[in-house]
Amino acid sequence: MIDSDKPLILQGDMTIVLETTHPRFEEMRDGLLPFTELVKSPEYLHTYRVTPISVWNASATGLKASEVLAFLEAESRYGMPSHFAVEIEGWFNRCGVFSLHSDESTGELRLEATDPSLFAQLLHDSELAAQFKAVDASRGRGQLTRGRRGLVKEHLIKLGYPVDDRAGYVDGSPLEIRLRGQDEGGFALREYQTRAVESFHRGGSALGGSGVIVLPCGSGKTVVGLAAMAAVGTHTLVLTPNTVALRQWKRELLDKTHLTEDDIGEYSGDSKEIRPVTLTTYQILTYRKKKGGEFLHFNLFAAGNWGLIIYDEVHLLPAPVFRATAEIQARRRLGLTATLVREDGKEDEVFCLIGPKRYDAPWKDLERRGFIASVQCAEIRVSMSDDLRVEYLASGKRSRFRIASENPAKTDVILALLERHKGERILIIGQYLDQLRELQKELGCPMITGKMPNPERDQWYDAFREGREEVLLVSKVGNFAIDLPDASVAIQISGAYGSRQEEAQRMGRILRPKADGRGASFYAIVSEASVDQEFAENRQRFLTEQGYAYAILSGDALIADLDRHFSPHCRN
């Protein structure tokens, strides 16, 4: 039966279409978010897709197939396609087919299947069969050594079966980690941070201990990591995306816990300290002298008796580190991220090797509660000159993207935005160093790149925090791990093709709540009718899924458009 008032259109390819003009759009968007992913977001019709990984993550947070199907059935305009329920129920049911247990008598692991005949079929896969020491196919059981734990989980998820890992963890060397309370000049965990830690730790049982916490930038992911460390109470290895993030973790540990300098080690290019809490970077872990050579620092995973490994910005985890992670499944593992989106498609490896999504707080929900700043987003389209358009059309696709990204016409828009937001703290973020250098000549403000020594970077960041510098030009080093709470304007002038995770990280630079309660502004400047504009649509997809809307503005009539679309709280 057709009900034209219902908001959802379910399609045979497991996609769901939602009209942005529907009066219940926001309610439906929030309802779809836990078990779908947004794949298209043009102005009037948003398309979501249900996938095995989206369902398995939903199941890990406690959502049930019956709840999902009841929601879809109640809100579907044209009814539910016959196979929709079959696929969704099948993906939910696969979550419990295989489970891993520890065999105390042998010290080894046991894989159990609820369906022995299915297990017997899958054993025809020679790579899977090779992981077991012994198999009792009639009982749906296989015995394996602890070192094969990650490999079996990897292989089964590739075959479409996530493993419920209940084999437990090594305790690691004990370490008392106490958080500083408010009476000690410290802090109190927010309600959602407490729930995030509880969903990961699960009282120390084998039901918890591995997984990913998804929280927006600026909402206190590092604090969640510290609280998880306190809950586990063990030697901890923390992996960070870069040295800036490493030092930020160290500052937070010293400021918000009772750990001392002697408890915290830095394992980086500058130092090779291994202490009860050791901080390192993905770059140092993946360092090798030549392509194809050995990763020289992978032994760090075994160098300490770690009871917990934290993967900061887990969406950036380099592929080689998955190999090491597969070998350390007996350690508790916590991933922290603002987005589970990976442009390399390795979401399944994050799921099985780090763990499923344990907690996810929608960005707009935290914004409504005042935990992150409200943000108004705009895509500003500028035209190309006739000469630049000719050069663009005569070039290959890769060259076209750079030509459009470095369009000199963007400079006039930047100047207008700087004038509009005079007195605010502004970040101008770009992909191409030549483009940033030209802007530096025009603006006379500091430029921070990956080649700048960390002490010098810290000096400029301090000047920005203290108001001595109001504008910073930053390369892609500004995508993450910069603690600049007063930044209220981000101007993106070029990016990494269609990277959704990069867009989310860049927006994250301005999400910390402002002392005066002011909102923030996020601008993406793109060249009109170019691949720059095409990639921008893809970059915006994750933020659109979180509930952010981009006003589309013309660079030729910028001020008038801003006055029409943006509310006064984002102005000077």
Extract the tokens encoding 309. 């490994």
Based on C-alpha coordinates, what's the Rg of the chain?
Answer: 25
Burial (CB count <10 Å: 0-12, 13-18, 19+), residue 503: buried
Instruction: Return the closest-CA partner of residue 151 out of 138, 170, 165.
Output: 165
Query: Any idea how long the chain is?
Result: 572
What confidence score (pLDDT) does residue 571 get?
41
Phi then psi for residue 449, to 5 deg, are -130, 175
Q: List, in order of start, the domains of the chain with CATH numbers.
A: 8-94 (no CATH), 99-165 (3.30.70), 182-361 (3.40.50.300), 367-570 (3.40.50.300)
Q: How far apart are CA 154 and CA 147, in angstroms?
A: 13
What confidence score (pLDDT) does residue 481 get?
61
DSSP state of 358: E
Splitting the chain (572 residues) into consecutive groups of 10 residues, what average pLDDT does each group show? 87 95 93 91 88 95 96 95 94 95 87 96 95 95 94 96 95 96 82 96 92 93 97 97 91 96 94 96 91 88 96 91 91 94 87 94 90 94 96 94 96 94 95 96 94 89 93 86 83 87 90 89 96 91 87 80 63 40
Instruction: Return the closest-CA partner of residue 243 out of 156, 170, 333, 312.
Output: 312
Name the residue with tokens 């992996």: 239
DSSP state of 116: H
Phi then psi for residue 241, to 5 deg, are -75, -25
| In 406-474, alpha helices (H) | 410-420, 433-443, 454-465
What confidence score (pLDDT) does residue 473 get?
96
Q: Is 214 strand, coil or helix?
A: strand
What confidence score (pLDDT) does residue 572 get?
38
